[in-house]
Amino acid sequence: MKIKRIETFTTRQLSVVRVTSEDGLQGYGQIAPYHANISALVLHQQVAPHALGADANDIEALVEKVVREEHKFPGSYICRAVGGLDTALWDLKGKRLGKSVSELLGGTPGKVKIYGSSMKRNISPAAEAERIQRLMETQGIEAFKIRIANNFANDVDVYPGRSEEVVRAVRKAIGNRAELFVDANSGLTPAKAIETGKMLAEYGVCHFEEPCPYMELEWTKQVADALDIPVTGGEQDTDLAQFRRMILMRAVDIVQPDICYVGGISRALEVAKMAEAVGMPCMPHAANLSMLTVFTMHMVSAIPNPGKYMEFTIEDDAWTNGLFTEPLKVEDGQVQVPQGPGWGITVNPEWLEKAEYQISE
């Protein structure tokens, strides 16, 4: 069945993609958030010419073809754009076959355990500890991730001593009733990251994310080799060859592709398979409540190596509110994977109406 039409509904932050096949069936996907208006232009100008008239069912081959044909433009924007196409095609395929994407991938759309993921550094350690304790008690969440160091900051903390302060405060608030993860967002050089990791071990932290600038695989490997705490990373990466290096050299102990950044489900699954081959967990990055989290729920319910918990933001992002009609609910620390065909959600018609419209056919 051939692809007939590709439409986008775009705001600065988000772009929803609708693909229609020759028989009139439609699937919905989403381009990665942030500057989504630029990615939508890339989709129409550089991706759609390869996709229109192609087989809507052979998603992996089409995605690979787009990335190969556009090899002069590697990286972020092509992958974001092709991810919008890929995720719409998985929805379309599910609708055609009457199956959820989870089922198409060999999984079961059951419940998934989540970890509560803080996106904030501009929060006092006391306030962070208070809200995490409350979420643990009211929503039954069994693991949380907090932010230490500072974004690409070369060892400079938000203020001197904040990293240890926030870890200490949160650990004191949750005791041993929940697991504690941290994310340094590329903030540390290897020596400082190793010193920090030893401090984290004293507080029972069991996941140290992106300790060093993410492209410095050798730095990250030094940290992973020196510490007992699992080092994690991969959310920023888009190149599958780079993922292969990262995994085979064991720069990380847990790999974290972002489905929307890496170019969709097909490419994220490639990363999960590379990790599976060496016995490594693949815990995808999913830092907002756009369709990305729905995609991630389907993926982790189907792969054999998803890690213990799926990332789930604890922030209330206004820009994702009302995007689809079935809001995701956390109960007993779990979320239910939507069970209808495709992604199992309905993009809100009112949201689409307000967005900027573009079409390729």
Residues in the site for Mg ion, rule: CB under 5 A?
A: 183, 209
β-sheet with 15-21: strand ranges across: 26-31, 15-21, 3-10, 356-360
Q: CA 344, 300, 332, 323: dihedral to nearest 10 degrees? A: -40
**309 contacts 114 by C-beta, under 8 angstroms:** yes
Nearest CB to Mg ion, comparing residues 148 and 303: 148
Nearest CB to Mg ion, comparing residues 7 and 183: 183
Instruction: Quote the radius of gyration of the chain (alpha carbons, Å).
Output: 20
Nearest CB to Mg ion, comparing residues 88 and 143: 143
In the complex, least distance from residue 145 CB atom to Mg ion, rounded to whole angstroms: 8
Nearest CB to Mg ion, comparing residues 209 and 237: 209
Distances (CA, A) of 290 to 7, 293, 322, 355: 18, 6, 9, 15
Give the list of residues 6+ apart from residue 114 with CB closer than 8 angstroms, or none: 141, 309, 310, 311, 312, 330, 333, 334, 335
Alpha-carbon distance of 193 to 112, in angstroms, equals 31
Nearest CB to Mg ion, comparing residues 66 and 79: 79
